[in-house]
C-alpha cells in the first residue's frame, strides 16, 4: 500500500515537469518564430510542440 501511495505522487510530479517543459518549449517557440508571431497561427513546428504539450497534460490526468 505504501508503495502505491508513494509512487503516484512521484509519477505525477514527473508528469507535471513534462507538461511544464512542453509548455515552455511551445511558448519559447511562438515568441521566437516570426511565422507564429506575425501569422497569429501555429506553424508546423508550433503545432507539433502544442500537440506534445497536450499529450503531456493528458498523461498527467490519466
Ligand atoms: Zn512557429
Of 42, 18, 44, 48, whose CA–CA distance to 30 is shortest?
A: 42
19 Cα to the center of ligand 1, angstroms:
19
pLDDT of residue 39: 86
pLDDT in tens, 15-57: 999 999 999 999 999 999 999 999 888 999 999 999 999 999 9
DSSP 10-25: HHHHHHHHHHHHHHHH
Whole-model pTM?
A: 0.77
- 21 CB contacts (<8 Å, ≥6 apart)? 56
54 Cα to the center of ligand 1, angstroms:
17
pLDDT of residue 62: 78
24 Cα to the center of ligand 1, angstroms:
14
Confidence of residue 5 (pLDDT cuts 50, 70, 90): low
Amino acid at each position: 500500500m505504501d508503495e502505491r501511495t508513494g509512487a503516484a505522487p512521484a509519477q505525477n510530479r514527473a508528469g507535471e515537469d513534462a507538461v511544464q517543459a512542453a509548455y515552455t518549449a511551445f511558448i519559447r517557440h511562438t515568441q521566437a518564430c516570426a511565422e507564429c508571431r506575425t501569422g497569429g497561427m501555429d506553424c508546423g513546428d508550433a503545432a507539433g510542440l502544442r500537440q506534445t504539450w497536450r499529450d503531456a497534460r493528458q498523461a498527467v490526468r490519466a
